[in-house]
Amino acid sequence: MLEADNVSNDGADITPVVQTVDAQATPAQQSERYSGSRQSRDDDQQERPESSSLPTLREHLLAQLGTTRASERDSALVGLLIDDLNDDGFLESSLQSIHDMLDPELAVEIDELSAALSLLQSFDPPGIGARDLAECLNLQLKHPDLACIPALTDPQIQTIAQQICAEHLDVLAAGNLSKLQESLGCKTSTLQQAHACILRLNPRPGSAWARPAAEYAIPDVIVRKTPQGYKPFLNESALPKLNVNAIYAQALGSARSGEHSALHGQLQEARWLIRNVNQRYETILRVSDFIVSHQQAFFEGGWGCLRPLTLREVAAELGMHESTISRATNQKFMLTPLGTVELKRFFGAGLSAGNGETTSTMAVQTRIRDLIQGEDLGKPLSDGQLATMLEKEGIQVARRTVAKYRELMRIPSASLRKSHAQARR
């Protein structure tokens, strides 16, 4: 009765009259580069991007274990430790915890597990099997790749780097190089070279083998530039192709009154489903049209030109409830000249920009990032200095707000940026 492309039907009792029709994808001209993401939905016949023939970290380590002369018992213990590694290559459980989980009849000693761990930590990649970051970095420093980090040919630099990783990582993370130099009793140049060597190490040795499932965002709306400005259009290739099977509808229409009353109800439900789906996409298009008309400057100038916009404003303009707008934009995406963007990213409160005008928080964050990218690496800008510079541009923002935005963008503090710059010299 109901023909569907990419909308599933959970009603088991109407399964006999449901037909599935292949989607006839017709990507818009502006989004042809996205056409590769719209493939067959048959998981059994379509190879997913995340399915790869490359070996996993476990397979990589077991292959090395097979080349050793370890006994069958020791190999089994190393295999047990390999199974306990996380995606970063760290041992998830303590040796004591692993020992406690073993069958007492096996009579495995804790020293045997320690020996198995030592064997595992000798495998490639360096740092594998570490129990914390300090051990991971020190394992790499004990057997360094001198071709990639030639400075470690100097025994003094190697020793200082090992001391930092073993005892002073917290001080290094805080960027307090003067305190670190005082604790180590070394020259500034030696400390800087040791720091530079540590930055070249891999804090996640197993990450090269981690293959997370690919994430896709098929745009529901495509923004095109027209003579009247930018306009949104529904992505026809992403719309569910739904209609009522005419043969079944005609058969039910010609049936005598009282016959097939259950199917008559299901026919009505199918028509309501189609109506609700169409109404949802009409709402998405209306919301998108308001967003695009409100954010014309964004499509020309990028995130720095984004204007503040709230769900309440959209709801008031369209005569809908805020919750309706929120549900309609949840996990819905728009293809723009700047890439595919979730609709919710266009919403945000505003900050005072002087002259009674406001600017969006996203625009402020973009400006902060631009200022930091253009700073003197030897004298990085503090949060207070950034707030002062923004104030001169007419943007009223407190120092703590600048710090919050900087942390949201994962930009280190001024002291850390300075220490990283010194280490790269």
Residues 297, 358, single domain; the answer is no
**What are 119-170's pLDDT values in tens digits?**
999 999 999 999 999 999 999 999 888 888 999 999 999 999 999 999 998 8
**What are 229-251's pLDDT values in tens digits?**
899 999 988 888 888 888 877 87
The answer to whether position 105 is within a domain reads no
* Burial class of residue 408 (count of CB atoms within 10 Å of its CB; 0-12, 13-18, 19+): exposed
C-alpha to C-alpha distance for 153 and 85, rounded to whole angstroms:
31
Residues 317, 255, single domain; the answer is yes
Q: How confident is the model at residue 23 (pLDDT cuts 50, 70, 90)?
A: very low
Residues 319, 358, single domain; the answer is no
Residue range 371-391: mean pLDDT, rounded: 89
Residue range 174-183: mean pLDDT, rounded: 84
Tell me the Cα Rg of the chain.
Answer: 30
Domain count, the chain: 2
Can you give the CATH number for the domain in which 419 is found?
1.10.10.60
Give 28-33's long-range contacts (Cβ < 8 A, gap of 24+).
28/222, 28/224, 28/233, 28/235, 28/236, 28/237, 30/222, 30/224, 30/335, 31/219, 31/222, 31/235, 31/335
Residues 227, 322, single domain; the answer is yes
The answer to whether position 384 is within a domain reads yes
Residues 388, 407, single domain; the answer is yes
Residues 332, 239, single domain; the answer is yes
Q: What is the pLDDT of residue 164?
A: 93
Residues 335, 313, single domain; the answer is yes
| pLDDT of 336 over the 60 cut | yes
The answer to whether position 186 is within a domain reads no
The answer to whether position 147 is within a domain reads no
Residues 315, 401, single domain; the answer is no
Residues 244, 366, single domain; the answer is no
Residues 286, 408, single domain; the answer is no
Residues 328, 365, single domain; the answer is no
Please identify, among 346, 374, 400, the residue that sits at the C-terminal boundary of a domain. Answer: 346
Q: What is the DSSP string of 46-72?
A: S--TT--SSPPHHHHHHHHHTTS---H
Contact (CB, 8 A) for 349 and 312: no
Please identify, among 295, 324, 346, the residue that sits at the C-terminal boundary of a domain. Answer: 346
**What are 250-301's pLDDT values in tens digits?**
877 765 555 667 777 888 888 898 888 888 899 999 999 999 998 888 888 8
The answer to whether position 306 is within a domain reads yes
Please identify, among 301, 330, 346, the residue that sits at the C-terminal boundary of a domain. Answer: 346
Contact (CB, 8 A) for 263 and 244: no
Range of the domain at 361: 350-424
Residue 143: which of 184, 69, 201 has the closest Cα? 201
CB atoms within 10 A of CB 210: 13
Residues 340, 354, single domain; the answer is no
The answer to whether position 130 is within a domain reads no
Q: What is the pLDDT of residue 34?
A: 33
Q: 């120092």: which residue's tokens?
A: 399
Q: What is the pLDDT of residue 8?
A: 39
The answer to whether position 402 is within a domain reads yes
Q: What is the pLDDT of residue 334?
A: 93
pLDDT, mean over the chain? 81
The answer to whether position 228 is within a domain reads yes
Residue range 383-387: mean pLDDT, rounded: 91
| pLDDT of 40 over the 50 cut | no
Q: What is the pLDDT of residue 132?
A: 94
